[in-house]
Structure 1
Amino acid sequence: MDFAELTALLTPEGLRLLDEVGGIDSTDEAAATVSRLRAAGLSPDLVSAVVGQARLRTRARTKFGAFADRMLFTRAGLEQATRLEIGARHAGRFRSAEVERVADLGCGIGGDSLAFAGIGLDVLAVDVDEVTAALAAYNLAPFGDAATVLHARAEEVELADADAVWLDPARRTAGHGETTRVGAAEWSPALEWVWEVASRRPAGIKLGPGFDRTQIPQDAEAQWISVDGSTIELVVWTGSLARPGVRRAALVIRGGRAAELTAAADAPDAEVRPLGAYLHEPEGAVIRARLIGEVARAIDAGMLDPKVAYLTSDTEASSPFVQSFRIRETLPNDVKALSRALRERGIGTLEIKKRAVDVDPATLRARLKLKGAAAATLIVTRIGDRRVTLLADRV
């Protein structure tokens, strides 16, 4: 969205038209809507803005639920926004620390600020991009004076009135559409400035889950978060926002149910043991937090290989921190022999998981030419210098 489209949209006519159009689910529906609106004599900027927002609102429902239908977005802003359920957990951390005023530096379209304001915190939301800041102001307007939005550089904002800060440094190129990742040296605001601010006042810092762990301050809490199988972010908490005695945390959410594993430091790995009747795949947040050993000992499992994040045990285990599979048998690694073995077993639906091997699941599935009504999971991994292919069922 450019400024001309924003200007056309932020009018009574534009917002009324957006509500009338409703959600748009497909490219064909978008094209038909564009044709209809242009035939009605509406301006190209207004039509582009309305149709673009209608499509984004439909996509945004996975992150914001029903709130998406009254929000405005850019494509990049939606991709980078925090999911509402995660934002609510962030906000709860601030409230538990008795924070009343929070500065959201790098607020984007206002996802986290919505959660902060939603539980009664006073919010100063700041973004360096003019269009994005305008959208954040619209999204936060229902909160009135409790949420103030500034178009400014984070480094230039006066923070004296803020009890704590939320920092989400931009890790991608500027823009409202397609963006690309940039190196840490090009983040905005700069990481050195972020750490300096976080050393002076309580802070939550949203980072990518693959962030270099060696740069995390030793006195901070590092919390990795996985949602429905995807590891979505790392949050570094400092000052009173960091929990006493906690330096590593893995928060796992599946189907709306949450479980968390915490520790004072990285956990030693469990001992390696031979492949048993079950294989367990730790959640991504557990792997990133280096708490695999804690999980292994809790379910009486061992490492399948010292360098591969799979666990194995002889007995079934129930844990929110792993996905478990019952091993049926070991199959050939050769594609032709593997294909033949799967056809003999009538397997036509196959989930393919891999770790520590150079395998593309989509390419492998196509080469296997599956046929049959049965379903199973194929796990391709390495034990020592040996590649193994395991047929399994989810527990």
Structure 2
Amino acid sequence: DVIMPQMGESVAEGTIVRWLKAVGDSVDRDEPIFEITTDKVDAEIPAPEAGVLLEIKVGEGETVEVGSVVAIIGSADEKPSGGGAKKPAADAPKKEEPAAPAAAAPAADAGDRDRADMSAADLRRTRSTPVVRKIAEEHGIDDLSAIDGSGLDGRVTKKDILAYIESGAHEAAPAKPEAPKAAAPAKAAAPSAGRVELGIPKIPVNVRPADTVEKMTGIRKATSDNMILSKHYSAHVHTCFEIDYTRIDRLRRKFKGQYAERGGKLTFTTFLAKATIDALKAFPIVNAAHDGDNVVFRGNINLGIAVALDRGLLVPVIGDADDLSMLGLSKRIADLSERARAKKLMPQELDGLTFSITNPGVFGSQWGTPVIPQPTTAILGVGTIEKRVKVATLPDGTDTMVIRTCGYVTLGFDHRTIDGAVADAFVGHLKQTLEGFDESAM
């Protein structure tokens, strides 16, 4: 059996984006056979063994729980099923429904049957995914035991609850929609207690005949939720400095060949990462986290480098970046960026962020005002790097015009934790390190 893999501790389900193989195709062990998306990462999933793809149980666009069987691989002499995802989905309830009477049949009396029913209800209520519970809350459904679950052990799946909502069965309880309003202040007061629902209503959109509706990817939806959350909690302030990269540019040209020979890729981002790490060591408050009541000073620096993709933004994390040399940083940045674009990242490579760098400058932006990833307290935005005309003072005191390689950097910081003077001192330290970069660090 090919199952939906566990793509991180908090990931409970995944969506099949595309099948890379068809029923009847031969597959090799570790050969990618389908592509999934979750709220953490997009990934190509390899075959657990060599053989022939006999059956596809879950179609493209369908979401299933972690551990669900999505396909079957067997030997070449076995006959392919040819069945698609719809047939197994329709068969699932039929397999589940007889299970309850079968378990209840040997019961001694009605009391035992009631206890068996209660156990099944508890399973459906408690063993549901975060996505299902979120949908239930949005629609005022606070008792999932009323829904027949088709998932493992009677779990209520996303498909189950959407079908239940479409049936209109939940509309008989008019008082339930008010519950989220009463609960909202309590939830807003505890940003550290997992995912926080802000109770923001959806904006109705009138879809016209010429329009096209496209479902948001897991990554895009997670980004959307996190950005709204951050704007709600953090007191965003930004400070912008101009950096003279002329010395950095010369060092990059001088050493990039040597780095390439040793498996590295020396870019401006490598220098920025190194200088950022030095500044974070000097100003540990910028590397801290804020939970609403406490400031948590991190014991290490886990540096995130944002990667823009067609399907959304990913921020791979370089763990213990403060332990790496320039060569080590150049290798890790290149490796994570390449694997992010190839959908080869693992969920743990997106966790543990303490500070991040985003680079709108690759698209020509002079500077930006990036949003702080929660629960970190700051983020660095890097503008485009270009040649500019500057005024320089000669030794005799006269001024002249010179060509310099320059660009802006912007620090977005949470004013609840970081004062403006500290933020400016942090970027000033970064600027000084970059403009006078020590060649011995290469």
What TM-score results when the alignment is normalised by the length of structure 2? 0.24
Q: Which protein shows a greater Rg?
A: 2
More strand by share: 1
What TM-score results when the alignment is normalised by the length of structure 1? 0.26
